[in-house]
């Protein structure tokens, strides 16, 4: 989830005092990178996926499933057994926000050849098996976007009670600080977002009104000091901590482009695809033990890291802050970056004018300068005492500090200094799916799309103020595939992936969100009151786990027959 510095984290008040310093040096660091690498060409197309996992433990006797707070130890073991002993190990493991989460990527990036699409699922399977192999009995690794009972009493193991008093990180009524990864970046982010905002974050998700759901749906919160009563809205599920958003899991893809201009073009083109692919990957209908009226996590994370003050949100006249800011740091992109996108930049962009002018003076073009000057309206949220004074020519921590806490649907990533990594873009909207098959399908679909966009010079751009129409991408992908040299086995794999995406798009197959809703609706304990009990949660996650392990079929979600990758079968028919 971004830059992981080690050291002594500063409080918000101390961090705030260094904000100008971080911005100033962040820009100098960016300029060093830009000057050194703007003309870098002929990097090859490389890409990689990131899958976020949750660790759970099943209690079959009491029919409960809980989130296991042992991500740090599991991560350590996985790294010790993997990348630390073998630089060519096929998997890499990284920490994530929740102490019940881990993130896995392939050991090496994938390259440009078509046959590599045929190895994605195997690598994901390896990751799942590797993680599972270091767990104990009744423990499992799950790719569920949002844990349905996240924030409900006793949802963690060991069980921890939230401490809603100042002094901790999130001050949440529901989400204990123990469920936050122990690396100081995560708790510091949590506390500093809250301190900068001046109050706890507020996440209100509409409740799904079923037959027996109280109307209006109003909750009372026993340990509330008044903040929750003020923030919670009738008919909404109220949440009050970063963990409700950043504690969700997603599926991301990062591409290395051949040059900076190709990266900027891909950034723009893929930006228009983000809402569509997010909808196709919808997998998170439940929050804090309730059935909600949304299917995707995005708005929840957006609110969960919204550090804007009341002034910045437009609720009070500007006095201590510089700008009104229309969105959270976690949101859709605000401006296109490539020349063909310029005419569509039709929303008001809040920028740091001094930074913009500085960048222009240094020869950065308007589109890139305004992009960076927009990201840099934000304050740094974490700063480590040991990392204040840096060598701007050879380090980029201050740039990365602001960059990596702008969590937009797409991220444009300059190369790190002194590395052989090129200009990259990150595709961030997708929800993680239950199985390696589905996750591979979504990843391959997006990567193929980039190939088609680049080969056919496709232009999907529309004004940023509008939602797009779905232009029918599968036919374009198919025609691209017909013109490519692809071995039969790989082609078969890809066609199966595209079939899944197509059927999800047409509604013939369910999204994970839809399937979960039906599972809960049909559960014998469900009282049509929008409540997900411990036992319902247990049966749902158990079923998800079985599907992911290939121990249960799920034709309504995956279709029939085509989700089994028959390794070794080189004669698959088309």
Output the smallest distance, CB 104 to ligand GLU, in A. 12
SS3 218: coil
- Rounded distance, CA 69 to CA 147, Å? 14
Nearer to ligand GLU, 432 or 494 (CB): 432
Any residues with CB less than 8 A from the CB of 376 and at least 6 apart, and which? 23, 26, 27, 352, 355, 402
Nearer to Mg ion, 53 or 175 (CB): 53
Output the smallest distance, CB 386 to ligand GLU, in A. 24
Any residues with CB less than 8 A from the CB of 441 and at least 6 apart, and which? 433, 496, 497, 498, 500, 501
- Rounded distance, CA 201 to CA 198, Å? 9
Any residues with CB less than 8 A from the CB of 254 and at least 6 apart, and which? 47, 48, 49, 50, 413, 424, 425, 426, 427
SS3 77: helix
- Which does residue 248 touch among Mg ion, ligand GLU, none (CB within 5 to 8 A, set by kind)? ligand GLU
- Rounded distance, CA 523 to CA 528, Å? 10
Output the smallest distance, CB 298 to ligand GLU, in A. 8
SS3 492: helix
Nearer to ligand GLU, 1 or 274 (CB): 1
Nearer to ligand GLU, 435 or 563 (CB): 435
x/- map, 61-100, Mg ion, by CB under 5 A? ----------------------------------------
Output the smallest distance, CB 421 to Mg ion, in A. 18
Any residues with CB less than 8 A from the CB of 183 and at least 6 apart, and which? 4, 72, 95
SS3 176: coil
- Which does residue 424 touch among Mg ion, ligand GLU, none (CB within 5 to 8 A, set by kind)? none
- Which does residue 43 touch among Mg ion, ligand GLU, none (CB within 5 to 8 A, set by kind)? none
Output the smallest distance, CB 191 to ligand GLU, in A. 18
Please report whether residue 242 would count as binding Mg ion according to CB under 5 A: no
Output the smallest distance, CB 431 to ligand GLU, in A. 7
SS3 48: strand
Please report whether residue 189 would count as binding Mg ion according to CB under 5 A: no
Please report whether residue 1 would count as binding Mg ion according to CB under 5 A: yes
Within 13 Å, how many C-alpha atoms sit on residue 267's CB side? 32
Nearer to ligand GLU, 190 or 496 (CB): 190
Residue 191 near residue 185 (C-beta atoms within 8 A): no
Any residues with CB less than 8 A from the CB of 91 and at least 6 apart, and which? 78, 82, 83, 104, 105, 106, 107, 123, 126, 127, 130
Interface contacts to ligand GLU, rule CB under 6 A? 1, 52, 246, 248-250, 297, 301, 407
Could you tell me how many helices (H) and strands (E) the chain has, helices first? 18, 15
Nearer to Mg ion, 92 or 494 (CB): 92
Output the smallest distance, CB 477 to ligand GLU, in A. 25
Place of tokens 């050849």: 113
Residue 491 near residue 481 (C-beta atoms within 8 A): yes
What separation in angstroms does the CA of 157 have from each of 49, 99, 163, 176, 470?
A: 29, 11, 16, 11, 43
Alpha helices for 134-183 (secondary structure H):
none
- Rounded distance, CA 177 to CA 171, Å? 8
Output the smallest distance, CB 144 to ligand GLU, in A. 11
Nearer to Mg ion, 248 or 292 (CB): 248
Residue 305 near residue 408 (C-beta atoms within 8 A): no
Nearer to ligand GLU, 43 or 306 (CB): 306
**What is the total count of residues that contact Mg ion (CB under 5 A)?**
2
Nearer to ligand GLU, 33 or 301 (CB): 301
Output the smallest distance, CB 527 to ligand GLU, in A. 30
Output the smallest distance, CB 495 to ligand GLU, in A. 29
- Which does residue 301 touch among Mg ion, ligand GLU, none (CB within 5 to 8 A, set by kind)? ligand GLU
Nearer to Mg ion, 68 or 250 (CB): 250
Give the dihedral sign, CA 140/145/149/152: positive
Among residues 29, 98, 101, 103, which is the contact residue for Mg ion, using CB under 5 A? Answer: 103
- Which does residue 401 touch among Mg ion, ligand GLU, none (CB within 5 to 8 A, set by kind)? none
- Which does residue 500 touch among Mg ion, ligand GLU, none (CB within 5 to 8 A, set by kind)? none
Please report whether residue 203 would count as binding Mg ion according to CB under 5 A: no
Output the smallest distance, CB 508 to Mg ion, in A. 31
Place of tokens 């051949």: 258
Nearer to ligand GLU, 164 or 245 (CB): 245
Please report whether residue 101 would count as binding Mg ion according to CB under 5 A: no
Binding residues for Mg ion, rule: CB under 5 A, are 1, 103
């Amino acid at each position: 989830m971004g830059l992981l510095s080690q050291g002594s984290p500063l409080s918000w008040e101390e961090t705030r005092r260094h904000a100008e310093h971080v911005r100033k040096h962040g820009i100098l660091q960016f300029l060093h990178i830009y000057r050194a690498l703007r003309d870098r060409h002929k990097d090859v197309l490389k890409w990689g996926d990131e899958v976020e996992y949750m660790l759970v433990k099943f209690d079959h006797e009491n029919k409960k499933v809980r989130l296991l707070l042992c991500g740090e130890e599991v991560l350590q073991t996985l790294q010790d057994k993997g990348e630390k002993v073998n630089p060519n190990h096929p998997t890499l493991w990284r920490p994530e926000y929740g102490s019940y989460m881990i993130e896995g990527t392939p050991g090496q990036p994938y390259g440009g050849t078509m046959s590599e699409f045929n190895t994605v699922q195997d690598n994901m399977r390896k990751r799942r098996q590797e993680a599972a192999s270091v767990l104990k009995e009744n423990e499992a690794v799950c790719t569920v976007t949002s844990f349905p009972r996240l924030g409900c009493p006793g949802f963690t193991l060991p069980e921890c009670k939230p401490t809603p008093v100042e002094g901790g990180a999130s001050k949440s009524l529901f989400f204990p600080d123990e469920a936050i990864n122990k690396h100081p970046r995560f708790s510091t982010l949590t506390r500093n977002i809250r301190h900068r905002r001046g109050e706890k974050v507020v996440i209100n998700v509409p409740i799904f009104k079923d037959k027996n759901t109280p109307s209006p749906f109003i909750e009372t919160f026993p340990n509330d000091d008044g903040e929750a009563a003020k923030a919670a809205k009738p008919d909404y599920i109220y949440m009050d901590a970063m963990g409700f958003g950043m504690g969700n899991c997603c599926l991301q893809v990062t591409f290395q482009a051949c040059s900076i201009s190709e990266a900027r073009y891909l950034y723009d083109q893929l930006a228009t695809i983000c809402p569509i692919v997010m909808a196709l990957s919808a997998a998170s209908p439940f929050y804090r033990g309730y059935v909600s009226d949304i299917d995707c996590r995005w708005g929840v994370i957006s609110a969960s890291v919204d550090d804007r003050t009341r002034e910045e949100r437009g609720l009070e006249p500007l006095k201590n802050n510089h700008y009104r800011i229309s969105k959270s740091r976690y949101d859709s992109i605000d401006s296109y970056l490539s020349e063909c996108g310029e005419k569509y930049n039709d929303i008001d962009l809040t920028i740091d004018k001094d930074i913009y002018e500085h960048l222009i003076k240094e020869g950065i073009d308007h589109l890139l300068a305004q992009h960076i000057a927009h990201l840099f309206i934000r304050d740094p949220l974490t700063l480590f005492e040991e990392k204040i004074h840096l060598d701007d020519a050879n380090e980029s921590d201050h740039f990365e500090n602001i960059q990596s806490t702008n969590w937009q649907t797409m991220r444009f990533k300059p190369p790190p200094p002194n590395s052989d990594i090129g200009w990259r873009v990150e595709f961030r909207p997708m929800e993680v799916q239950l199985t390696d098959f589905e996750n591979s399908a979504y990843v391959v679909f997006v990567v193929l799309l980039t190939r088609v966009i680049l080969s056919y010079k496709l232009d999907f751009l529309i004004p940023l103020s509008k939602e797009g129409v779905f232009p029918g991408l599968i036919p374009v992908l198919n025609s691209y595939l017909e013109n490519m040299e692809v071995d039969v086995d790989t082609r078969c794999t890809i066609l199966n992936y595209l079939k899944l995406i197509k059927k999800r798009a047409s509604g013939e197959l369910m999204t994970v969100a839809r399937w979960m809703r039906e599972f809960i609706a049909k559960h014998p304990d469900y009282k049509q009151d929008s409540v997900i009990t411990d036992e319902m949660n247990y049966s749902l996650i158990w079923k998800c786990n079985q599907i992911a392990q290939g121990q249960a079929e799920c034709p309504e979600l995956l279709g029939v027959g085509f989700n089994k990758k028959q390794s070794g079968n080189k004669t698959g028919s088309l």
